A = this chain, B = another copy of it.
């Protein structure tokens, strides 16, 4: 059974929407998501707000789920060995929050199949779904770049714009009503 390593931030969790919600809550300013296109993730908000939010207790725990991710991952698990692999070590407070977030929103994923790491070069899998070039670059299996505002200019990878496209690329069927 082929193994897939699936990233969390910007792939399973909609971190960009969460940045904008936090920014609006703290500054009263509603940003147009369009202006974030092509900008590095750390620079989309002024005054280091992105890093500040990433270090805020509760930020990861309350992130919204990326539309379609639950249904498609459940379908993938019937055909593949699915591991969730998140680079979390830079933000120690995120470790438990990420685990609890997964238990809440993806209760069908066992703790056996969760990896919180620093560098993803250690990952042994056949397919990787990630929004970052730095994670996909060293991976020798099939690389799926999940579209995120920060990566729209990358052309080196097989691109998936959303979870419906992941399902199509990996040839699993998801009942239309579920996506």
Residues of B near A89 (CB, < 8 A) are: 99, 111-112, 114
Q: Within 8 Å of chain B (Cβ to Cβ): is A96?
A: yes
B122 pairs with A118, CB closer than 8 A: no
Q: Provide the A111-136 mask, 1 if CB < 8 A to any CB of B, else 0.
A: 11111111101111100000000000
Bound Cα distance from A29 to B85, whole angstroms: 42
A146 at the B interface (CB under 8 A): no
Q: Is A18 an interface residue (CB 8 A)?
A: no
Q: How far is the CB of A103 from chain B (nearest CB, A)?
A: 9
Which residue on chain B has the smallest CB distance to residue A121? Answer: B124
In the bound complex, residues from chain B placing their C-beta under 8 Å from that of A95 are: 95-96, 99, 116
- With known contacts A116-B117, A122-B3, A122-B83, A99–B110 Cβ distance under 8 A: no
